[in-house]
Structure 1
Amino acid sequence: MGRYVLRRLLQLIPVFIGTTFLIYWLVWSLPGDPFAGKCGDRPCPEAFVAAMTAKFNLGDPVVVQYGKYMMNLLQGDFGITFSGISVGDRIATAYPNTIRLALVALAIEAVIGISAGILTGLRGRGFLDNLVLVTTLFLISLPVFVTGFVLQIVLGFELGWIKTTVSESPAPWGQLIVPGFVLGSLSMAYVTRLTRSSIAENRRSDYVRTAVAKGLPQSRVVGVHLLRNSAIPVITFLGTDLGSLMGGAIITEGIFNIKGIGNLVYRGILSKEGVIVTGVVTLLVMVYLLSNLIVDMLYAVLDPRIRYD
């Protein structure tokens, strides 16, 4: 296992360099004036443009700019905005809210999605199975912003059960339950369907029939043999979904006024602050890579037939 983890960590290095360079090239090679609107309605003075160009290495080739950016990033420096604000400080302020929101969404989709998938997968066709299938299809068809607005209006304005906005930083866990449900609603529907199909397929496997023939209790057959093998595709989806939840939280954070990195990226795009967009997306790339590594290591825990030698 140790050699496998070391090998995977070494494999992550070229993947990280390739993805971050592509992101950097896409952000900083876009046509347009990066200083447009930075000096109000009037064009920026040439002296200011020249000074900012030299300060942010905008006159260098993209490869050289990327190399200098990565050297600073390895030292923990995400750069500064055109207005002189540290991007690292902005990320440090916004990141806790987004990671909390993503963890709440991940927990909701895992608990509800896996539970509903297990029940319908074990019971087979019937009223509960049809109800779950219709509900998940409804969630998949419904855009996330519609779900957010409906829950905000009904639970917040009409019933007064929740606060319509989450403006505190760091945001309290309790106030993130409804936004987390909104963020994870689509993934929860996919987890339910994936768990249901995996359970239904593995129920007919030879190892399950063997365990039943040996006289093992139903709880052990389901809990040890069936669920562990059926959980592999679900764990794969959940592991890769953490980065998606963090990167796709722009709409949810906007609806509930959560000061997270989604809101930060949106403002960075509007203000053409490429250094903010690059820093946040680079952080998300690291989350994706590490979550994939953790998922791969969990395979051997769930399925004893998998060994990393």
Structure 2
Amino acid sequence: MGRYVLRRLLQLIPVFIGTTFIIYCLVWALPGDPFAGRCGDRPCPPAYIAEMTEKYNLNDPVYVQYFKYLWQLLQGDFGDTYSGLAVNELVGNAYPITIRLAIVALVIEAVIGIGAGILAGLRGRGFLDSLVFMSTLFLISLPVFVTGFVLQVLLGTEWGLIRPSVSSQATWGELIVPGLVLGSLSMAYVSRLMRTSMIENKRADYVRTATAKGLHPRRVVGVHLLRNSMIPVITFLGTDLGALMGGAIVTEGIFNIRGIGGLIYDAVLTKEGTTVTGIVTLLVLVYLLMNLLVDLLYAVLDPRIRYA
């Protein structure tokens, strides 16, 4: 297992360099004036353009720019915005909120989605299976902004059960409803994936063997059937965490959450390339580390899998 972890960690290095280089090129190497509109309606003075060009190494070839930026990243420096604010500080203020929101959404979609999928898979075709199918189809057909707006109006404005807008502290309790909105679509997919996996594994030879040995049905389901059925679900949940952290722009906008989503949106509007590059680089790291964690969990869930 140790060799496998080391090999996977070494494989992350070229993947990280390749993806971040593409991101850097997409942000900085595209044609156009990066300082357009920085000085209002009038064009920026030549002295300002020369200073900013020197600061962001825009006179160098793009690969030289990238490796200078990569060296800054290795030192923990994500650079500064055009207005002089440190990207580290901006990310440090917004990232913890988005992490809490993503964790709440992941827990909600895992608990409800897996639970509904297990019940539907064990019961087979019937009322419960049909109810789960219709519920997931309803969630998939609804855009996230519609779900968020409806819950905000009903629970916040009409019934007064929650605050329509999340406070600046963004406590765990305040993020439950936004997390439900953010994870609603993935929750439907998790439920369907778990149901399909349970039905397929119910007909597997190892399940019939465990039943023939006289094991208790709870042990057959909990130890044998459930562990192997969880493998595709774990894969989905692991990769979905990065998507939840990067795709919370709409949810954060509806509930006025000051997280990474709003920071990315503002940076794109104002063409703050340093902020966009730094945030997307962090999301790449999250994806890579979650994929590594998912691979390691395979050996725990399925004893047939052995890593040399």
Same fold per TM (> 0.5)?
yes
User: Is 1:219 matched with 2:222?
Assistant: no
Deviation at 1:33, TM superposition (A): 1.8
Matches of 1:81 and 1:214, distance apart in 2:
66
Aligned to 2:9: 9
Amino acid in the other structure paired with 1:234: V
Amino acid in the other structure paired with 1:278: T
Deviation at 1:64, TM superposition (A): 0.8
1:169-189 deviations in Å (ceiling 9; x for gaps): 3x1000000000000000000
Matches of 1:31 and 1:224, distance apart in 2:
57
Structure 1 ranges of 4+ moved more than 4 A: none
Matches of 2:284 and 2:75, distance apart in 1:
18
Matches of 2:283 and 2:181, distance apart in 1:
20
Deviation at 1:166, TM superposition (A): 1.0
Amino acid in the other structure paired with 2:214: G
Deviation at 1:40, TM superposition (A): 1.9
User: Is 1:194 matched with 2:193?
Assistant: yes
1:238-295 deviations in Å (ceiling 9; x for gaps): 0010000001001101111111111100000011000000000000000000000000
Aligned to 1:111: 111
Matches of 1:154 and 1:34, distance apart in 2:
43
- For structure 1, the residue ranges without an aligned partner over 5 or more in a row are none
Matches of 1:36 and 1:255, distance apart in 2:
30
Deviation at 1:167, TM superposition (A): 2.9
Deviation at 1:36, TM superposition (A): 1.6
Alignment of 1:79-94 (within 5 A): 79-94=79-94
- Give TM-score, length-normalised by structure 1: 0.99
Any idea what SS the aligned residue of 2:39 has? coil
Amino acid in the other structure paired with 2:30: L
Alignment of 1:55-94 (within 5 A): 55-94=55-94
Any idea what SS the aligned residue of 2:174 has? helix
1:32-90 deviations in Å (ceiling 9; x for gaps): 22112211222111110111111111111111110100000000000000111000110
With 181-190 and 30-39 compared, the bigger mean Cα shift is at: 30-39
Deviation at 1:164, TM superposition (A): 0.8
Deviation at 1:204, TM superposition (A): 0.8
Matches of 2:26 and 2:298, distance apart in 1:
35
Any idea what SS the aligned residue of 2:307 has? coil
Matches of 1:167 and 1:29, distance apart in 2:
38
Deviation at 1:12, TM superposition (A): 0.3
Aligned to 2:289: 290
Tell me how large the CA RMSD over aligned residues is: 0.7
1:190-217 deviations in Å (ceiling 9; x for gaps): 0000000000110111111111111100
- For structure 2, the residue ranges without an aligned partner over 5 or more in a row are none
Matches of 2:54 and 2:167, distance apart in 1:
38
Amino acid in the other structure paired with 2:162: I
Instruction: Tell me the matched-pair count.
Output: 308
Aligned to 2:160: 160
Aligned to 1:206: 205
Amino acid in the other structure paired with 1:276: T
Alignment of 1:251-290 (within 5 A): 251-290=250-289
Any idea what SS the aligned residue of 1:308 has? coil
Deviation at 1:141, TM superposition (A): 1.1
Any idea what SS the aligned residue of 2:109 has? helix
Any idea what SS the aligned residue of 2:188 has? helix
Matches of 2:20 and 2:269, distance apart in 1:
21
Matches of 2:281 and 2:140, distance apart in 1:
29
